[in-house]
Amino acid sequence: MKKNKLTLGILLCGIAVLSSCDSHSDECHECHIAFDTPNGEIEVPINNAAGGEEFCGAELEEAEGSDFSYLLTEDYIAGADTVPAGTYTEIHCEAHAH
């Protein structure tokens, strides 16, 4: 009887393992212009259409698309480096260390 219960437990574990597959994320994410300098990459945060920081759903897909461009209206200063105002196509939305 005890063994039967254990066997049942094992089978339930199996079902749990099978059903624990990770689904691809559909959350919202912040995006930035990736500006390459001799000192490394500068990340310039960008805003979504509503002025918010996060891009979701179709807007995230659009921001990550190859046709997307972002107009930086003012120079962005990062330490000793400056990212000049202009239109940028190198947009990244992956997360970084915190």
Partner 1 sequence: MKKEIILSFVMMMTFSINAQIRGVVIDKDSIPVVDVEILIPDYDIKFYTNYLGEFSVEIGIDNRSHLYFYKDGYESKISQYKEDTELVIILDDLHVDIDEISVTASYNILGNSKVTNIQNLSIKDVFLNSNSMIESITELSGVDIISSGIGIQKVVVRGLSGMRVVTYLNGMQINNQQWANDHGIGFTDLGLDKVELIKGSSALRYGSESIGGLLYFKDHPFIKLEGAKGYLASKFNSSSYFSSNQFGLKWNKNNLFFNMHGQYSISSDYRLPNNKYLFNSRFKQNSIKFSVAHKKNNLQNIFRYQLHNESPGIPGHVHGDPSTIELTQLLSSDIDFNEDFKITRPNQFVTNQLFIYESNYFLDNSIISLYLGHFRNNLQEYEKWTAPAFNLTLSNTLINPNIKYSYNNSTIELGSQFSILNNVNNINERLVPNASSINIGPYGIFNYEKDNLGVNLGIRYDYKNLKSRDNTVNNNKIFDIDYSESFNAFSISSGVFCEFKDHIIRISYSGASRTPHFSELFSNGVHHGTNRYEIGNEDLLIENANQIDLKYQWSNEHLGVVINPFIQHITNFISISPTDSFSSVYRIYNYMQYELVQIKGIEMNIHYHPHLLHNLHIEQSYSFLNTRNKDDLYGLALTPANSVKTKLVLDLNQYQKLTKFKINNLSVYHIHKFQQNSFAQYEEFTASYDVINLQLGGKFNNQFEYAFLINNVFNKEYTPHISRLRGVAGGVPNPGRSFSINLKYNF
80 binds partner 1, rule: CB under 8 A: no
Q: Which of 1, 50, 80, 97 binds partner 1 (CB under 8 A)?
A: 97
6 binds partner 1, rule: CB under 8 A: yes
Query: Shortest Cβ distance from residue 77 to partner 1 (Å)?
Result: 19
Question: Could you give phi then psi for residue 63, rounded to 5 degrees?
Answer: -65, -30
Q: Are strands 70-72 and 54-55 parallel, antiparallel or unpaired?
A: unpaired
Please, which residues have CB within 8 angstroms of residue 18's CB and are 6 or more apart in sequence?
none
- Stretch 8-47: interaction string toward partner 1, x if CB under 8 A: --x--xx-xxx-xxx-xx-x-x----x-x--xxx------
Measured distance CA(55)–CA(48) in Å, rounded: 6
